[in-house]
């Protein structure tokens, strides 16, 4: 299987985090041209992001439509174009913004009407809110939020991002349904400035090397 570095820097032959190169087939004629993703399941496993989310993102940023029944998007698309799109997605929605490692799991916080998308890193235990970078990433954030709100299953595959550890030291596997119920904010929680010992006490220290941005070469 042909692979590429998840941060897009293929000159670094020792880089640990790999993903498959897109294998696509362009089919159809005229206005009915569409692109078949032959290895989207393998790409999904490498990123630990659902096929539906990835495909909707690629369709959205390329101005296409996602045909879920056959896992295709309309129009002709080549691997070079798709690589450019997915590397930007990885940078903002897969890699941890603190340690630069692609071992994050999304969750929603806040209230049902305006939930916030957060990413919890399995490597450094940092939790960060997804931030707007441009219109394409805004679309990606919206797609993930809608997927989680609808109760979509977010699986984490062994060998990539397997476990996350609570501050207490008890571990749990981050697989299955990551959707959650939201509570309306109240004055007590909104005004409280008391630190949360469970969420802050177990954060791991990150070395200077880990804190480097894997996308610095871009």
- pLDDT (tens digit per residue) in 174-216: 334 444 444 444 444 444 444 444 444 443 444 444 445 555 5
- Over residues 44-56, the mean pLDDT reads 97
Q: Residue 80 forms beta bridges with which residues?
A: none
Which pLDDT belongs to residue 163?
42
* pLDDT at site 158: 60
In a domain, 82, yes or no: yes
Q: Crossing angle of helices 79-93/135-149, nearest 10°?
A: 70
* Host domain of residue 131: 3-185
Of the two residues 207 and 126, the one the predictor is more confident about is 126
Backbone angles phi, psi at 52, to 5 degrees: -60, -45
**Alpha-carbon separation of residue 188 from 191, 192, 194, 199 (angstroms):** 6, 6, 11, 18
Neighbours of 54 (CB within 10 A): 21
Range name among 68-72, 76-80, 121-125, 171-175 with the lowest pLDDT average: 171-175
In a domain, 199, yes or no: no
Residue 51 lies in a domain: yes
Instruction: Please give the Cα distance from 145 to 158 (Å, whole number).
Output: 24
Q: Please report the pLDDT score of residue 213 as a whole number.
A: 56
In a domain, 217, yes or no: no
> Under DSSP, is residue 172 helix (H, G, I), strand (E, B) or coil?
strand
The answer to whether the beta carbons of residues 176 and 151 sit under 8 Å apart is no
SS3 104: strand
Judge whether 218 lies within some domain.
Answer: no
Neighbours of 81 (CB within 10 A): 16
Of 134 and 206, the structure prediction assigns the larger pLDDT to 134
What's the number of domains the chain is made of?
A: 1
Q: Is the Cβ–Cβ distance between 52 and 147 less than 8 Å? A: yes
Average pLDDT over residues 10-38: 95
Could you tell me if residue 211 is inside a domain? no
Query: Can you read off the two tokens belonging to residue 57?
Result: 């993102």
Residue 36 has pLDDT above 70, yes or no: yes
Residue 62 burial (CB < 10 Å; 0-12/13-18/19+)? middle
Higher model confidence: residue 211 or residue 79?
Answer: 79
For the ranges 7-11, 56-60, 80-84, 163-167, the lowest mean pLDDT is seen at 163-167
pTM over 0.85: no
């Amino acid at each position: 299987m042909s692979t590429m570095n998840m941060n897009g820097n293929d000159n670094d032959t020792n880089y640990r985090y790999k993903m498959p190169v897109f294998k696509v087939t362009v089919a159809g004629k005229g206005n009915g041209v569409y692109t078949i993703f032959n290895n989207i399941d393998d790409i999904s496993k490498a990123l630990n992001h659902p096929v539906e989310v990835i495909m909707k993102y690629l369709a959205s940023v390329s101005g296409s439509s996602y045909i879920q029944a056959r896992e295709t998007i309309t129009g002709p698309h080549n691997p070079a174009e798709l690589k450019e799109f997915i590397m930007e997605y990885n940078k903002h929605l897969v890699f941890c913004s603190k340690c630069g490692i692609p071992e994050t799991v999304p969750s929603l916080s806040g209230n049902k009407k305006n939930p916030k998308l957060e990413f919890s890193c399995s490597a450094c235990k940092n939790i960060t809110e997804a931030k707007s970078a441009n219109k394409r990433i805004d679309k990606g954030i919206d797609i993930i939020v809608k997927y989680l709100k609808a109760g979509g299953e977010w699986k984490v595959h062994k060998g990539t991002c397997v476990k996350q550890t609570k501050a207490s030291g008890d571990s749990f596997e981050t697989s299955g349904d990551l959707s959650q119920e939201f509570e309306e904010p109240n004055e007590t929680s909104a005004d409280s400035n008391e630190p949360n010992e469970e969420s802050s006490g177990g954060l791991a220290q990150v070395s200077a090397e880990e804190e480097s941005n894997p996308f610095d070469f871009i």
